[in-house]
Chains A and B, each alone.
Chain A
Amino acid sequence: DIQMTQSPSSLSASVGDRVTITCRASQGISNFLAWYQQKPGKVPKLLIYVASTLQSGVPSRFSGSGSGTDFTLTISSLQPEDVATYYCQKYNSAPFTFGPGTKVDIK
């Protein structure tokens, strides 16, 4: 099975900073990758699918890129409401594995 890794596992940044999270697949998955945001105590929320398509209603400061094995989620200007754990997920084929998550907080 394809394994998903994320880096870093956690980060602390200042409001307004540009934040980048990396997701790596152990084998190529084309662009079958989604990103989710889970705020503390809340249900996960879809941010991005097909590696770079923003889900309706998601702020434009979020963006995704990548294809094959290496992907990134970027927050162009970190806001206090972006404190959350971010997960990538592969869906090219079952199992539809999630990455281990990246916890983002405010410095």
Chain B
Amino acid sequence: EVQLLESGGGLVQPGGSLRLSCAASGFTFNSYAMSWVRQAPGKGLEWVSAISGSGDTPYYGDSVKGRFTISRDNSKKTLYLQMNSLRAEDTAVYYCAKSPSGSYYMAYFDYWGQGTLVTVSS
């Protein structure tokens, strides 16, 4: 059974940093691209970042480019999102999501974690 378990969310002050983790199980982690998708309170889904199965060629949404870094440790079956220079508008539930391919050719999401809440506030 595919499981994705996010952690690392919490309350952080504007300008601060946070690192999210997503522990994966139930599938061959290094064979699949992964993404982070966020949802601000009462708002829609926003794709944040993606990384291929091999870990090369990450992509970022314009709203986080230059501030967030996606990475993965395939030996630990874990996806990360390093978030720096956080702003109030980054407040959201952050989901990790699995794609059904190792490349970006099928960059939709067949499995989602339960999400972790990040609140940016002073």
Which A residues are closer than 8 A to B by beta carbons?
Answer: 1, 34, 36, 38, 43-46, 49, 55, 85, 87, 89, 91, 93-101
Contacts and interface: CB of A to CB of B under 8 A. Distances in A.
A97 B72 CA distance: 22
B45 A87 contact: yes
Interface residues of B, number: 23
Contacts, number: 62
A43 B44 contact: no
Interface string B19-47: 00000000000000001010000001111
Tell which of A38, A43, A100 has the most Cβ of chain B within 10 Å: A43
Interface in B30-85: 35, 37, 44-47, 50, 59-62
A96 B46 contact: no
Contacts of A46: 108-110
Given A36-B45, A44-B109, 11 more contacts: A34-B108, A43-B113, A43-B115, A44-B37, A49-B100, A89-B45, A91-B107, A94-B59, A95-B59, A98-B47, A101-B45
15 contacts: A38-B45, A43-B114, A45-B112, A46-B109, A49-B100, A49-B108, A87-B44, A94-B107, A95-B59, A95-B61, A95-B62, A96-B47, A96-B50, A96-B107, A99-B44
